[in-house]
Amino acid sequence: MIINHKHYGVTVRILTLTALIAVFMVSPVMSHCDSEDGPIIPLIRTSLESGEITPLLKWLAADDEAEIKSLYTRVRTLRTISDEARELVDELFIETFIRVHRASEGAPFTGIKEAGTMPPIFIELDEALESGSVDDLANKIANAVRENIVKRFEHAVDLSEHQDHSVEDGREFVEAYVTYMHFVEGLHNYLSAGGEGHHKVTDEGHGH
């Protein structure tokens, strides 16, 4: 079947790609590495108290290690001056560490997020790691993906029955068709690429 949907396809593709990014990528908006209750900041605070930096280094690119180690040494010295100094230099180190960490992933630093603002999906991901089982979460995500595919498929099927009744009906079908095709295509492309990187999005620009 060959359908001319140039005008609708561009808009729908953008919307679909945006939705896929929100679901499958760790974007600046949907991040948790910069949250007070995420996996990094509590570790930083513990490290600054204990003087043991090694557990932090896994969150850095190798090229950034020397810079952070140097800053860490200076911060550890300055934080002994006073409580006020400790608070100031600790926050400086945390912000610098998170900025460097996010830059290594191609993500901007948009500030430290308060505890309790982390999206629920990240909490579930961390809880799965802590429990040693991802079965419940994997089933939840798989069911949600299936429901979304079926919903878009059934909508396109319903509209296909009336696509030739009028131009308006035809355009409504085309929009549903493109949404269905590109949603599944986006899922397929992401999974085929193996989820490369923390923020990588691959859009091959396929048409139908």
SS3 of 90-128: the string is HHHHHHHHHHHHHHHCCCCCCCCECCCCCCHHHHHHHHH
Q: Same domain, yes or no, for 106 and 46?
A: yes
Phi, then psi, of 149 in degrees rounded to 5: -65, -50
- CA–CA distance, 190 with 199 (Å, rounded to integer): 12
- Final residue in a domain of this structure, among 118, 135, 165: 118
pLDDT at 10: 43
If asked whether residues 168 and 187 sit together in one domain, one would say yes
Does 130 lie in the same domain as 105?
no
Quick one: pLDDT at residue 20? 45
Tell me if 62 is assigned to some domain. yes
In order, the DSSP letters of 18-40 are: HHHHHHHS--STT--TTBTTSSS
Residue 200 covered by a domain: no
Rounded to 5 degrees, φ, ψ at 113 are: -95, 145
What pLDDT score does 163 carry?
A: 92
- Asked if 46 and 113 sit in the same domain, the reply is yes
Last residue of a domain, one of 118, 142, 171: 118
Say whether both 96 and 149 belong to one domain. no
Residues 102 and 85 both lie in one domain: yes
Number of domains the chain is built from: 2
| 69 and 135, same domain (yes or no) | no
Please check whether residue 101 lies inside any domain of the structure: yes
Q: Which pTM does this prediction carry?
A: 0.56
Residue 159 lies in a domain: yes
* 174 and 136 part of one domain: yes
Same domain? For 102 and 154 the reply is no
114 and 45 together in one domain: yes
Please indicate, yes or no, whether residues 100 and 165 belong to a single structural domain of this protein: no
Domain residues for the domain of 78 are 41-118
Question: Tens-digit pLDDT profile for the chain (208 aa)?
Answer: 444 444 444 444 444 444 444 444 444 444 578 888 888 999 999 999 999 999 999 999 999 999 999 999 999 999 999 999 999 999 999 999 999 998 988 888 888 888 776 677 777 887 888 889 989 888 888 898 999 999 999 999 999 999 999 999 999 999 999 999 999 998 888 888 765 555 444 344 444 5
Is 198 part of any domain?
no
Is residue 80 a part of any domain in this protein? yes
| 101, 131: one domain | no
